[in-house]
């Protein structure tokens, strides 16, 4: 009963976003096509936007799971920094095969996520504070290992992950689409997904219905760590360089995409499809403004305004739902 009620509320509150966000994406597409004719709306640039979005979406998939479950993970940028450098260190410095290095680093990402989850559960402190703290730990480890050096000399097989094409489609985009579909299926079609929404929507009610919310949160943070590590590997492959400066800042871009796509800060609401659209909007905004030759600082301002507008829209939706509940009662 509780799970069905949570699902009905989530579906009704998400309906407007399902219409608005794709419409905003189309409006931006038309706007930049007019403002940057001949350079924006080309297959080359569309491929570039999709490829640029891929590692952000990888990281945001894990963040979406955590946020829907009522948590937060701001350590993903430095998780990417650490795992991205470790995968380079294993292959370039120690001569590991990518078939050994990649699984090892994905496991490392899961362990970093579990580390976050255990601390959040044991200390019962707001996850934003915990993951900001663990981000600093991951940052310190990453820079201690790299000593601010950049590792080069990756194999073509490894760089194909981030730079290769299958036909005319970037391989990283195909990987991103596969992971997003799997994640959407888990959230929408499995008991684990329902338990995740229930935990984020009303943890006490979820506990009363027999859900082990601590176990769910631990798994969610492990998923976030895995996705952040996958994003770090992808970004390292795309740049063909391994350095600790790759990754930090991705957490805020991913968070912007999540909020813009309808994943609420309070938990219990959001969809993978909405997050993907939100991440594409953020990437397209930066790409289009760059082609219009607007500076980096102007892009920061525009992205900040979009994020504030998205949060305002989220507050409006929640207030509207609260008023509806009061009227019913």
Mean pLDDT of the chain: 88
Residue 328 lies in a domain: no
74: containing domain: 44-247
pLDDT at 8 over 50: no
Tell me which residue of 210, 208, 219, 257 sits closest to 110, measured CA to CA.
219
**Predicted model pTM:** 0.89
Tell me which residue of 150, 131, 32 sits closest to 76, measured CA to CA.
131
Residue 93 lies in a domain: yes
pLDDT at 199 over 50: yes
Residue 84 lies in a domain: yes
> What was the pLDDT predicted at 321?
60
Contacts by 43-48 with C-beta closer than 8 Å and gap 24+? 43/168, 45/287, 45/291, 47/168, 47/169, 47/170, 47/173, 48/287
Residue 107 lies in a domain: yes
Residue 120 lies in a domain: yes
Residue 7 lies in a domain: no
Q: Write phi, then psi, for 209 (nearest 5 degrees).
A: -85, 5
Residue 276 lies in a domain: no
Provide the percentage of residues in the chain whose pLDDT is more than 70: 90
Total domain count for the chain? 1
Tell me which residue of 86, 62, 85, 87 sits closest to 75, measured CA to CA.
62
Instruction: Name the least confident of 7-21, 87-101, 178-192, 228-242.
Output: 7-21
pLDDT in tens, 270-298: 899 999 999 999 999 989 999 988 877 88
- The C-alpha atoms of residue 113 and residue 219 are separated, in whole angstroms, by 9
């Amino acid at each position: 009963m509780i799970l069905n009620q949570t699902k009905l509320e989530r579906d009704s509150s998400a309906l407007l976003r399902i219409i608005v966000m794709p419409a905003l994406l189309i409006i931006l597409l038309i706007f930049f096509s007019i403002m940057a004719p001949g350079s924006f709306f080309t297959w080359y640039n569309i491929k570039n936007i999709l490829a640029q979005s891929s590692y952000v979406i990888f990281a945001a998939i894990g963040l979406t799971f955590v946020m829907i479950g009522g948590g937060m993970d701001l350590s993903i940028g430095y998780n990417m920094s650490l795992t991205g450098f470790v995968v380079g260190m294993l292959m370039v410095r120690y001569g590991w095969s990518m078939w050994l290095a990649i699984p090892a680093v994905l496991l490392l990402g899961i362990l970093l996520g579990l580390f976050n989850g255990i601390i959040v559960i044991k200390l019962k402190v707001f996850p934003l504070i915990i993951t900001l703290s663990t981000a600093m730990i991951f940052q310190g480890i990453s820079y201690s290992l790299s000593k601010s050096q950049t590792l080069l000399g990756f194999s073509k097989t490894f760089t194909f992950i981030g730079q290769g094409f299958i036909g005319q489609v970037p391989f990283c985009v195909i990987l991103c689409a596969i992971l997003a579909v799997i994640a959407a299926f888990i959230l929408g079609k499995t008991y684990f997904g329902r338990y995740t929404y229930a935990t984020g929507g009303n943890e006490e009610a979820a506990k009363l219905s027999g859900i082990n919310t601590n176990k769910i949160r631990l798994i969610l943070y492990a998923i976030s760590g895995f996705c952040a590590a996958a994003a770090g590997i992808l970004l390292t492959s795309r740049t063909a360089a391994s350095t600790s400066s790759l990754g930090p800042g991705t957490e805020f871009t991913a968070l912007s995409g999540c909020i813009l796509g309808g994943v609420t800060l309070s938990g219990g609401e959001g969809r993978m499809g909405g997050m993907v659209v939100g991440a594409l909007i953020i990437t397209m905004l930066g790409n289009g403004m760059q082609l219009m030759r607007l500076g980096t600082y102007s892009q920061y301002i525009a992205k900040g305004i979009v994020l504030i507008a998205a949060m305002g829209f989220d507050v409006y939706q929640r207030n509207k739902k609260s008023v509806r509940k009061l009227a019913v009662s």
